[in-house]
Structure 1
Amino acid sequence: MKNEAENVEALVREIAETCASIAPFEVILVDDGSDDGTGAVIAGLQREFPWLRQLRHPVSAGQSAAVHSGVHAARGDIICTLDGDGQNPPHEIPALAAPFLDRHCPADLGLVAGQRVDRDDTWSRRSASTFANGLRSWLLNDGTRDTGCGLKAFRRDAFLALPYFNHMHRYLPALFTRDGWAVAHVDVSHRAREAGRSKYSNIGRALVGLYDLFGVAWLIRRRKTQKPTEVGRTPDGDTA
């Protein structure tokens, strides 16, 4: 969250109501250098919700840094992420977590990625996103229609093993696939921002997006995997 004081309370209360069915859980809000009182609002809500935690970046470091800080601090094995502006509906969280909570969950499932349908954004933003997603999908072949959606669920240990860089949150399907994990997709809803203003511009996204895209393509092509053979011990204690 960066300067989302007007959105914090509604978001937290909706998470509390929606996630009651999958308790216990914790919620970590990362205040990314806000100067509008976002942190004070979170602190007030912590008195009501004991599962609510707050991390603060003294200066804004961006969305990928916020996600990385939150995952490092998290105590759960499964992480669900969503943007702090209220455009990612919290009622989608149980659907993202469901594949991991299923006792038949595949051992190689690493990421469940939300893909927005009926996106409630301006025409210019939807058009820019469609072009960027098409280019990314063609170059990375990640099988994902919408990597910009903040609604995702993944294994904490698998995420922390990924190469970390700024804007990595836009390339999680490709990065998880690169490390041998299976990726599933869930269609999710999207809604308009009710308060505050966006921290992104189409031009800004495009400039960093092209640079990052070729960098991720390089990472994927440079990946080398090996299956090590475990050296055990015989029953009498000798090395096998």
Structure 2
Amino acid sequence: MNNSNTAFELTIVVPVFNEEDNLERVKQEFDSYLSKSPYRSKVLFVNDGSSDNSQMFIESICKSSNKYSYLQLSNNMGLSAALKAGIDYANTEFVGYIDSDLQTTPFDFDLLMEYRHDYALVTGVRQNRKDSFVKNMSSKIANGFRRYMTKDTAEDTGCPLKIMKTDYAKKIPFFTGMHRFIPALIMLQDGKIKQVPVQHFPRIAGEAKYHLFNRMIGPFKDCFAYRWMKKRYINYEIINQG
């Protein structure tokens, strides 16, 4: 893995779990984006214990350019763990996140990057969502309950297109389910957030990993975990060192 950060400003974390049918398209999209974007970005795949041929595709992609690298987790740990691993290994000023199903496009990172210096988190808000009725309704209910519990003001916390200042991202107290609360966890650090409309596309290949049950029950329980953690969260700032 290439750890040099001299040529890059943004590390884009791409969690992968059994997405072999999508990864060739992921490479095509990122090859095009990285060649055209005015921002110096690199891609970090995090293989979250895939049981298909995802790792083979990831290694092939990473051999094609020093703009790609990967981490392979020992077993399937879930999206929060994959994101934490990517953030832990990020060595650029900014770190981003996109899902490997490409229901959002890497080209919209350029929209977020315009605000990178003024906000600790810039997050997408999916427009004209191309999901099923059940998925859209469960997302609306979960988002509404989360906003009521966290007061984070985020319209679409589940949008898989975000950039953060890496210093803030590394201080996020991650645990299972906390990927749903990134705006709230940034605000706990007194970080400002910016929401930007982004495109949304239907899933073309592979299968969705989250359905009605885990979209509703998991977030409901995690909201109470967040409320417990919020009361005990310690936020400090060093103003001098000798």
TM-score (norm 1): 0.88
Query: Which residue number corresponds to residue 4 of structure 1?
Result: 19
- Give distance in 2, aligned partners of 1:227 and 1:36: 44
Query: Which residue number corresponds to residue 18 of structure 1?
Result: 33
Shift in Å at residue 231 of structure 1? Answer: 7.5
Are the equivalent residues in 2 in contact too, given 1:114–1:188 (CA < 8 A)? yes
Q: Does 1:33 align with 2:33?
A: no
Query: Which residue number corresponds to residue 45 of structure 1?
Result: 61
Q: Deviations over 1:99-156 (max 9, x none)?
A: 12xxxx33xx210011111111000000000011111112211111110111000011
- Give distance in 2, aligned partners of 1:22 and 1:172: 26
Query: Which residue number corresponds to residue 159 of structure 1?
Result: 169
Between 1:213-222 and 1:148-157, the stretch displaced more is 213-222
- Give distance in 1, aligned partners of 2:204 and 2:215: 22
Are the equivalent residues in 1 in contact too, given 2:99–2:161 (CA < 8 A)? yes
Q: Does 1:96 align with 2:107?
A: no
Query: Which residue number corresponds to residue 228 of structure 2?
Result: 218
Q: Does 1:128 align with 2:138?
A: yes
Partner SS, residue 80 of structure 1: strand
Runs of 4+ that moved beyond 6 A: none
- Give distance in 1, aligned partners of 2:208 and 2:108: 21
Query: Which residue number corresponds to residue 199 of structure 2?
Result: 189
Larger radius of gyration: 1
One-letter amino acid of the structure 2 residue matched with residue 18 of structure 1 = Y
Shift in Å at residue 51 of structure 1? Answer: 1.3
- Give distance in 1, aligned partners of 2:43 and 2:54: 15
Shift in Å at residue 50 of structure 1? Answer: 2.1
One-letter amino acid of the structure 2 residue matched with residue 35 of structure 1 = S
Equivalences, count: 226
Find 2:88's aligned residue among 59, 72, 77: 72
Shift in Å at residue 218 of structure 1? Answer: 2.3
Written as runs of structure 1 = structure 2, the 5 A alignment for 1:141-152 is: 141-152=151-162
The percentage of aligned residue pairs carrying the same residue is 29
Query: Which residue number corresponds to residue 236 of structure 1?
Result: none
Are the equivalent residues in 1 in contact too, given 2:138–2:212 (CA < 8 A)? yes
- Give distance in 2, aligned partners of 1:169 and 1:19: 25
Change (3 A) 1:9 1:223: same
Are the equivalent residues in 1 in contact too, given 2:139–2:215 (CA < 8 A)? no
Shift in Å at residue 53 of structure 1? Answer: 0.5
Query: Which residue number corresponds to residue 189 of structure 2?
Result: 179
Q: Deviations over 1:179-217 (max 9, x none)?
A: 110011111111111111011121122221111101112
